[in-house]
Amino acid sequence: MIHRKLSFVAAIGLIAASALLGAAPAHADETETEPPVVELVLDVSGSMKAADIDGETRMVVAKRAFNDVVDALPETTQLGIRVLGATYGGKNKKLGCQDTQQIVKVGQVNRVAAKNAIATLQPTGFTPIGLALRSAAKDLEGAGAARRIVLITDGEDTCTPPDPCDVARQLAAQGTDLVVDTLGLAPDEKTRKQLVCVAQATGGTYASAQSEEELTDRIKQLVDRAAKPVPVTPAVVAGAKDCATAPLLDAGVYTDRELIGEHRFYRVAVAGDQELRASVSIALDRPLNRDYGILLKAATVDGRELVRGVDAGSGRSDVLSAGLRWSLTRDDEEEEDGTAKKSTDTVCLVVSNSFASATAARAPGMPVELSIDVVAASQAPDAPGLGRGWLLLFVLALAGLVAGVLAGWLTRWWVAKWGVN
């Protein structure tokens, strides 16, 4: 799911699911019933031998940070630990790139077992991040509805394929509630870009740490976040290529995927006394050519545009978002008692993008998060009349005149009494 910017971002006043007319609409659940679980994935590759954090090796600092985090975990925490590059120290890349193990199975935290497993780790081999992520996702299968992987590494993947970004996109495309947060330990720019890509693809977050204190704080924050279910879980929906076949959506938050240059259609029923509020966020999870944008448009079934919202960027952007508001007005249609008819119209929501990829890869599509709400129509407040505007102007002018006269009089009195030095 696109999440948290894609959390990113995006729910606008979701108060309750509205009762809509017509076919039964898709509905987004707003509560989380199962406790979330988290697996820490730690890089134990040879680069962790570098002694560049407070005069100590990255591995020593990471071990102490892990121990502090384990000590601070609540008893009910569901925790697992997986490592990569921890056992094979040879030069055979084929063997080294299979080097990932789960050293603590996912379950209620056992502090002694977790700390003993961490204590034995020594920086050793390659960095198969993509394989470790794929394996971690399998570790968490069936473990809970909201699942989180926290990846801690000091370098980029040295074993592609599988590419970590591609693995993250594949996991997100499966529609499972799996979020990957990434933490770079003294990262360089290439590592940062790769970790940002992995996090964005799954709706996670990226952070970096340059000291032991920062590392401990960042890991605690990520584990704490994993221990708190998100209040709204987006429902997976598949937009159509035209309005006629588009899914009918209820109020809620939805997640989808959109290819570069694609248009995705959805339908929402809006009554005459209601207002449609919608927003969309698209995560830019891959390199794009400069000058791009997204469009969220509301239109009638026959294609007449009602209102639109746009966002654009050029260069590095993490997420683009756009929103709109629209209400149905029928001034010329009334009931027998003179009140407005409460007709219901089907509004087509169209999500489009003007992306051009800097690489050949197009699928899976960009992560999309769509928020929809249908509320009672709000009346626009009356604008102030011209008379009240002139009155305000007159009061301001009069105040300025009085202030100027007083200032001049006081100045003359001061000069006459005390003179000018």
d(CA 134, CA 165): 11
d(CA 85, CA 89): 8
pLDDT surpassing 70 at residue 377: no
Burial class (CB in 10 A: 0-12, 13-18, 19+), 138: exposed
**Is 313 domain-assigned?**
yes
Place of tokens 């890349």: 93
CB 181 within 8 A of CB 151: yes
Backbone angles phi, psi at 317, to 5 degrees: -135, 145
**Is 257 domain-assigned?**
yes
CB 165 within 8 A of CB 201: yes
In DSSP terms, 208 is beta-bridged to: 184
Q: Same domain, yes or no, for 202 and 240?
A: no
| Full residue range of the structural domain in which residue 125 is found | 37-226
pLDDT band at 388 (very low <50, low <70, confident <90, very high): very low
Residue 117 tokens read as: 């497993």
Q: Which residues neighbour 413 within 8 Å (Cβ) at sequence distance 6 or greater?
A: none
CB 358 within 8 A of CB 313: no
Q: Same domain, yes or no, for 50 and 138?
A: yes
Question: For 99, what's the count of Cα atoms within 13 Å in the CB-facing half-sphere?
Answer: 27
Residue 292 tokens read as: 């791009």
Residue 216's H or E segment, with its range, is helix 212-226
Q: Same domain, yes or no, for 211 and 64?
A: yes
d(CA 278, CA 269): 13
Burial class (CB in 10 A: 0-12, 13-18, 19+), 44: buried
Q: Is 415 helix (H, G, I), strand (E, B) or coil?
A: helix
Q: Is 191 helix (H, G, I), strand (E, B) or coil?
A: helix
pLDDT digits (tens, 9 = 90+) for 306-346: 988 887 666 555 677 888 888 876 443 445 555 545 566 88
Helices 129-139, 189-202: axis angle to 10 degrees equals 30
**Is 47 domain-assigned?**
yes
Residue among 229, 265, 262 nearest 363 (CA): 262
Residue 217 confidence (pLDDT): 82
Q: Which of 164, 196, 226 is the last residue of a domain?
A: 226
Residue 97 confidence (pLDDT): 94
pLDDT digits (tens, 9 = 90+) for 273-308: 788 888 888 877 777 777 778 889 999 998 889 988
pLDDT digits (tens, 9 = 90+) for 185-206: 877 888 888 998 888 888 788 8
pLDDT digits (tens, 9 = 90+) for 46-84: 989 888 887 888 898 888 888 888 887 777 778 899 999
Beta strand 178-185 pairing with 206-209: parallel
How many residues are present in the chain?
Answer: 421
Residue 229 confidence (pLDDT): 54
pLDDT digits (tens, 9 = 90+) for 229-288: 555 568 889 999 999 999 999 888 898 988 888 899 999 998 877 888 888 888 777 777
Residue among 6, 28, 9 nearest 254 (CA): 28
Residue 35 tokens read as: 């406790």
Q: Which residues neighbour 335 within 8 Å (Cβ) at sequence distance 6 or greater?
A: 341
Q: Same domain, yes or no, for 58 and 166?
A: yes
Residue among 53, 3, 13 nearest 376 (CA): 13
Q: Same domain, yes or no, for 92 and 114?
A: yes
pLDDT band at 364 (very low <50, low <70, confident <90, very high): confident
The structure's pTM equals 0.53
Is pLDDT larger for residue 16 or for residue 149? 149
- Mean of the per-residue pLDDT values of the chain: 77
Place of tokens 């063997």: 95
Residue 80 tokens read as: 């697992």
d(CA 34, CA 131): 27
**Is 243 domain-assigned?**
yes
Domain of residue 353, CATH code: 2.60.120.380
Q: Same domain, yes or no, for 59 and 187?
A: yes
The one-character DSSP state at 313 is E
**Is 73 domain-assigned?**
yes
Domain of residue 91, CATH code: 3.40.50.410
**Is 368 domain-assigned?**
yes
Residue 324 tokens read as: 């709109």
**Is 24 domain-assigned?**
no
Q: Which of 199, 226, 253 is the last residue of a domain?
A: 226
- Per the structure, the count of domains in the chain is 2
Instruction: Give CA angle at 169 (165, 175), nearest 5°.
Output: 155
Residue among 86, 48, 81, 56 nearest 67 (CA): 81
Q: Which amino acid is at 122?
A: Q
d(CA 150, CA 25): 35
Residue 84 tokens read as: 């990569």
Q: Same domain, yes or no, for 357 and 244?
A: yes
